[in-house]
C-alpha cells in the first residue's frame, strides 16, 4: 500500500504550499525592504498655507500646582478648553505666510484650595468672573499678526508676543534647515527672563532639542525637550522655570505642511523655593489638535460626528481636571 504522502493530490498540495510560501516570504522581504528605504529617505519639512484659509486647533490645558510653605499647603487646579485660529491673509512667492492669531472661544475652570470654584464659558456666560476679565478681552479679537517663513522663522510681527511665551513651543515650531530622516536632530536657542528677590532680571539661556522619531503615512513624529544651558542652582529661579520647560511630542503632516497635534507634559517638584521647608509640585498636560476643515467652513449640526472644540467645551462644562500621576 502506497503512503498517502506520495499521492498526486498531496504532492500537488505540497507544491502549492512551497510556491505560495516562497511567494509570501519574497513579498514580505520586499515589503520590509521598501519600508526600510522609505524610513531611510530624507524629507524636507516645510510649512505650507494658502491665502484666505482659516486653520483652527482645539487646545486643552490641565494643571495642578501644590505649594507648601511653613507647613501650610495650598493646591490650585485649572482646566481650559479653547480654539486657536489662524486666518491666513497672504502668502508671498517665497512661501512666507502672514496670518492673524486669535482665540475664538474659551471654557475655563479653576479652584484654589477650599475656595469656591470659578468658571467661565465665553459662548454661554453673560457675566464674567473677575478672575477671567482679562482673558475675556482677548477672545475673538486678533492678538497678533505674524509673518513666518516656510522653515518657521518669524519674518515680521505686529502685536504682543506675551501669549506666545508659555512653555509649549511658542507660536510655531522651528523646522530643520536641511532634509532630515529618523534620528535627525535640530535645535532652537532662546532665553527666558526670571526675577531675583531684589527685583533684578536674570536671563536664562535655553534651547529646544528636536528629534525626528519617525515618518509614517506622511506624518512626522517629533520629540521636543527643553534644555537649560545657564547653570541654575537657586530654587527660587527653578520655580519660575517649571512651566516654561517643554517636554513632549509633536506630529507634523509632511504633505499638508502643518502641525496636526501636540502633547506636552509636566511633572516637576522644586524644594526650597521659599524657605528650607518649602515645596512646589507642578503637574500638567497640554494638548493641541488640528480641527477638520469642515468645522471652519460651516458649523456642524447637533449630533454631528465632526470634531468641535466648541461642542467639547460645552459638554465638559461640569467636568473637573482629571489629571493624576499614576
- For position 41, what pLDDT does the model report? 85
* Same-domain pairing of 165 and 203: yes
Q: Is residue 132 in a domain?
A: yes
Lowest mean pLDDT among 14-18, 62-66, 116-120: 14-18
Give buried/exposed letters for 205-230 (b at 16+ CB in 10 A, else e): ebebebebeebeeebbbbebebebee
Distance CA(288)–CA(103), nearest Å, equals 13
Task: Quote the domain boundaries for residue 27.
Answer: 4-40
Q: Is residue 323 in a domain?
A: no
* Same-domain pairing of 30 and 137: no
Nearest to 71 by CA among 276, 283, 324, 325: 276
CB distance 208 to 224 below 8 Å: yes
pLDDT band at 171 (very low <50, low <70, confident <90, very high): confident
* Same-domain pairing of 163 and 283: yes
- The CATH number covering residue 293 comes to 2.30.230
Looking up cell 506520495 gives 6
Looking up cell 535627525 gives 184
* Same-domain pairing of 28 and 159: no
| Higher-confidence position of 125 and 165 | 125
* Same-domain pairing of 196 and 298: yes
Q: Is residue 145 in a domain?
A: yes
CB distance 260 to 289 below 8 Å: yes
* Same-domain pairing of 119 and 142: yes
Q: Is residue 221 in a domain?
A: yes
**pLDDT per residue as tens digits for the range 180-224:** 999 999 999 999 999 988 899 999 999 999 999 999 999 999 999
Domain count, the chain: 2
- For position 323, what pLDDT does the model report? 53
* Same-domain pairing of 29 and 144: no
pLDDT band at 26 (very low <50, low <70, confident <90, very high): very low
* Same-domain pairing of 222 and 119: yes
* Same-domain pairing of 36 and 58: no
Q: Is residue 324 in a domain?
A: no
Q: Is residue 325 in a domain?
A: no
* Same-domain pairing of 92 and 173: yes
- For position 246, what pLDDT does the model report? 85
* Same-domain pairing of 9 and 154: no
* Same-domain pairing of 28 and 168: no
Distance CA(80)–CA(316), nearest Å, equals 10
| Cα dist from 103 to 4, 27, 70, 124, whole Å | 77, 50, 40, 16
Amino acid at each position: 500500500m502506497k503512503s498517502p504522502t506520495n499521492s498526486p493530490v498531496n504532492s500537488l498540495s505540497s507544491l502549492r504550499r512551497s510556491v505560495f510560501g516562497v511567494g509570501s516570504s519574497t513579498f514580505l522581504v520586499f515589503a520590509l525592504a521598501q519600508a526600510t528605504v522609505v524610513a531611510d529617505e530624507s524629507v524636507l519639512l516645510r510649512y505650507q498655507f494658502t491665502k484666505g484659509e482659516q486653520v483652527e486647533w482645539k487646545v486643552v490645558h490641565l494643571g495642578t500646582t501644590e505649594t507648601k510653605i511653613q507647613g501650610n499647603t495650598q493646591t490650585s487646579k485649572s482646566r481650559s478648553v479653547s480654539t486657536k485660529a489662524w486666518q491666513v491673509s497672504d502668502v508671498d512667492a517665497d512661501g512666507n505666510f502672514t496670518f492673524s492669531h486669535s482665540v475664538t472661544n474659551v471654557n475655563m475652570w479653576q479652584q484654589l484650595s477650599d475656595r469656591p470654584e470659578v468658571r467661565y464659558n465665553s459662548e454661554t456666560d453673560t457675566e464674567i468672573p473677575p478672575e477671567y476679565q482679562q482673558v475675556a478681552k482677548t477672545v475673538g479679537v486678533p492678538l497678533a499678526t505674524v509673518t513666518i517663513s516656510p522653515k518657521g522663522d518669524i519674518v515680521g510681527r505686529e502685536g504682543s508676543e506675551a501669549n506666545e511665551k508659555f512653555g509649549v513651543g511658542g507660536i510655531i515650531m522651528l523646522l530643520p534647515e536641511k532634509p532630515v530622516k529618523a534620528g535627525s536632530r535640530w535645535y532652537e536657542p532662546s532665553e527666558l527672563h526670571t526675577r531675583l528677590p531684589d527685583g533684578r532680571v536674570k536671563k536664562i539661556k535655553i534651547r529646544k532639542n528636536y528629534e525626528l522619531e519617525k515618518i509614517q503615512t506622511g506624518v512626522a513624529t517629533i520629540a521636543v525637550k527643553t534644555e537649560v544651558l545657564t547653570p541654575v542652582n537657586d530654587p527660587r529661579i527653578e520655580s519660575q522655570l517649571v512651566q516654561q520647560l517643554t517636554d513632549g511630542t509633536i506630529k507634523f503632516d509632511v504633505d499638508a505642511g502643518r502641525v496636526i497635534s501636540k502633547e506636552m507634559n509636566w511633572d516637576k517638584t522644586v524644594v526650597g523655593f521659599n524657605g528650607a521647608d518649602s515645596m512646589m509640585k507642578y503637574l500638567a498636560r497640554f494638548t493641541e489638535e488640528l480641527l477638520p476643515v469642515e468645522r471652519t467652513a460651516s458649523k456642524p449640526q447637533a449630533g454631528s460626528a465632526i470634531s468641535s472644540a466648541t461642542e467639547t467645551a460645552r459638554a465638559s462644562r461640569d467636568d473637573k481636571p482629571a489629571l493624576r500621576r499614576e
